[in-house]
Amino acid sequence: GNIRVFCRVRPLLSSEQQGRVGIVATDVPNQVQVSSSGGKARNYLFDKVFHAASLQDDVFSEVEPIIRSAMDGSNVCIFAYGQTGTGKTFTMVGFEGSQDCPGIVPRTLQQLFFDASLDTTVEYSFKLSMLEVYRGCLRDLLAPRQQQQSSSKRQEILMAGSGSTEIENLTEIPIKSASQARYLYRKGVRSRSTCWTTANETSSRSHCLVRINITCNYGKQSHASKLWLVDLGGSERFFKTQAQGQTLEEGKAINASLSALGDVISALQRKQPHIPYSRNSKLTQILRDCLGKDSKALMLVHVSPKEEDLGETTCSLGFASRARAIHLGRDISPVRSYSLFSPFIVLNSFLLWISRAQGTREQLAWPTFWRR
């Protein structure tokens, strides 16, 4: 497994059309160039770059293969990183409005059931959990409302002997269909935003994590894996702003957890024997078993196109470039190994090809998705 890093540049919003753009494409594929009016230009290369004109579809088609490797038994973590307002939530959740453009999470929920239906010799089951990490506290987004407010059931992070991470008391709901999954997911998203009085403000200072536990049974064997989809809190440096009180505390918590994540990543990069999955950071503890050897991580770094944001943009691109240099271990061999020409591989490839040719996936009911 390893860490792959994609970069997405947000388009200028209609309210910003006047601003000067500080980030552009170059002739080299998957490279971005950062330049300010006076300064020297710097280039950054990633595994994939999505420029301002890219669509949710473009992003998801590059993410799809890693979703498939979660179904094949790898622990996978996909996380959106970047300054507030650069489009992390847009990429992960999507846009709720007149135009429907669902993001990675709703598309993944759809894709899991679609892929599972193609392979009838293998039986998949999925369980959904959602949680928020805010100033070091966990909040279970799928727990019944009364339970969320009472403090009797605290979520604790436990380390199992096998090195896997468990979260005590976290609600896990078996999902049987894509429509049920969407219903639950929407409920979790609403639960996140209704808890805080100033929803947008606070959501940028918390991490939102969606976990799908995947179990796969084939014959007498089975394997289990986890897929984490994470919308991280904004990475801006709060200390530079004149934040005070509550805002400052929130900023410190975010800075601490993102820097703990950075430490884990750089220790992995340098192949250090000790990886600092900090006891003080809930985020790195939760993601621990998805950041080690035998797991796959995808970081989606988001940046603003505006020249005035160049300071933050450079920080985010630097963090992401360091992450990109990592190889977490060897690629794990596929759990199931079939002959390339086994009848169902051939049949499934054919079915997949037909359904794509006919655009079946596009018909899978996006329009009703985001409307209540």
Per CB under 6 A, which region of 30-38, 81-89, 247-255, 306-314 contacts ligand ADP?
Answer: 81-89
Neighbours of 156 (CB within 10 A): 11
Report helix angle 104-118 to 178-195, nearest 10.
160
Name residues contacting ligand ADP, limited to 124-183 (CB under 6 A).
Answer: none
Confirm or deny that 82 is annotated as ligand binding. yes
Name residues contacting ligand ADP, limited to 4-63 (CB under 6 A).
Answer: 10-11, 13
Helix (H, G, I), strand (E, B) or coil at 215: strand
**Residue 82 or residue 188: which is nearer to ligand ADP going by CB?**
82
The site partner of 48 among Mg ion, ligand ADP, none (C-beta below 5 to 8 Å per kind) is: none
Task: Decide if 255 contacts 104 (C-beta within 8 A).
Answer: no
- Residue found under tokens 């005035």: 308
295-303 and 75-82: which strand pairing?
parallel
Q: How crowded is the C-beta side of 176, counted as CA atoms within 13 Å? A: 0
Confirm or deny that 246 is annotated as ligand binding. no
Q: Is 334 in the site for ligand ADP (CB under 6 A)?
A: no
The site partner of 13 among ligand ADP, Mg ion, none (C-beta below 5 to 8 Å per kind) is: ligand ADP
Applying CB under 6 A, which of residues 204, 225, 295, 316 lies at the interface with ligand ADP?
Answer: 204
The CA distance from 29 to 25, in Å, is: 8
The CA distance from 348 to 330, in Å, is: 28
Cα R_g (the chain), whole angstroms: 21
Site track 211-250 with ligand ADP (rule: CB under 6 A), x = hit: -----------------------x----------------
Q: Is 84 in the site for ligand ADP (CB under 6 A)?
A: yes
Q: Is 82 in the site for ligand ADP (CB under 6 A)?
A: yes
Q: What phi, psi does 42 have (nearest 5°)? A: -125, 140
**Residue 87 or residue 292: which is nearer to ligand ADP going by CB?**
87
The CA distance from 118 to 128, in Å, is: 21
**Residue 177 or residue 193: which is nearer to Mg ion going by CB?**
193
The CA distance from 31 to 22, in Å, is: 14
Applying CB under 6 A, which of residues 19, 45, 95, 196 lies at the interface with ligand ADP?
Answer: 95
Taking CB atoms, the residue at the shortest distance from ligand ADP is 87
Provide the minimum distance between the beta carbon of 255 and ligand ADP in the complex, in angstroms, as a whole number: 16
Q: Is 89 in the site for ligand ADP (CB under 6 A)?
A: yes
Residues 6 or more apart whose CB falls under 8 angstroms from that of 333 comprise: none
Q: Which residues are annotated as a binding site for ATP?
A: 82-89
Q: What residue ranges bind ligand ADP (CB under 6 A)?
A: 10-11, 13, 82, 84-90, 95, 204, 234, 302
